[in-house]
Structure 1
Amino acid sequence: MITAVDHIQLSAPPGSEELLRAYYVDALGLVEVPRPARLATRGGCWFSDDDGRVRIHLGIETPYRASAKAHPGLRVEAIDSLAARLEAFGAPVIWDDALPGHRRFHSQDPVGNRLEFLQPTVGERPFSSTRA
């Protein structure tokens, strides 16, 4: 039985690690996590929140193609502050009100991967299972 998502894997082009660090650490406030020695030679970066609940791995892929449609949906607090922070960093912020019970926007990391940031509105329950 599935109990949690361990991490999200996104792709990145060769040599993009410094761009990724600037975005995921400086703009999003995550921390870089050391990778096991056996994986470190492959390039890329791993990031996490302080508690290790949110983990995003970026692996080098050749040829590289950014994920324009598929994307992680990241639950956030203080969504307006995050949007302003990303805009100040130079990242696009595209608000979308199509999901009931949530405020959300889409953005892109510096290598073009699509990311969704969403915050449930006050009094709304996050998605729940309809199974009995």
Structure 2
Amino acid sequence: MKINFKRLDHIMLCIPKGKEEEARDFYTNVLGLPELKDLGYPLPNGAIWFQMGDIQLHIRAEKDHGLSDRHPAFEVNNLAEVRAMLEGHGIAIKNESKIPDRNRFSFRDPFGNRIELIEMI
């Protein structure tokens, strides 16, 4: 089975709790990125989203739980098939919070890196 990667959808970077306004100021006023505010749905887990060319940059305060939540997210065409293939290899899948315009899940590679896969609906 082949994963049909379409594109890099977003990258998520993490910040310390309580630094959201500082991050918003840096990414908006220093880097000049437009913040995505009116998407028609609330952003999950207090995230702040920015448009960066043809991908998005997601910023979120990180919980201290050992493994980082930082990750790239790749859009694919065949999410259900990919999930079955990964589970067939014994890879644990984590269902992510719901976002109305996409299905998604994440997993960790053998080195602890988080990878998110999404399919637009």
When normalised by structure 1's length, the TM-score is 0.41
Greater share of residues in strand: 2
Which structure is higher in RCO with an 8 Å CA cutoff and minimum separation 6? 2
When normalised by structure 2's length, the TM-score is 0.44
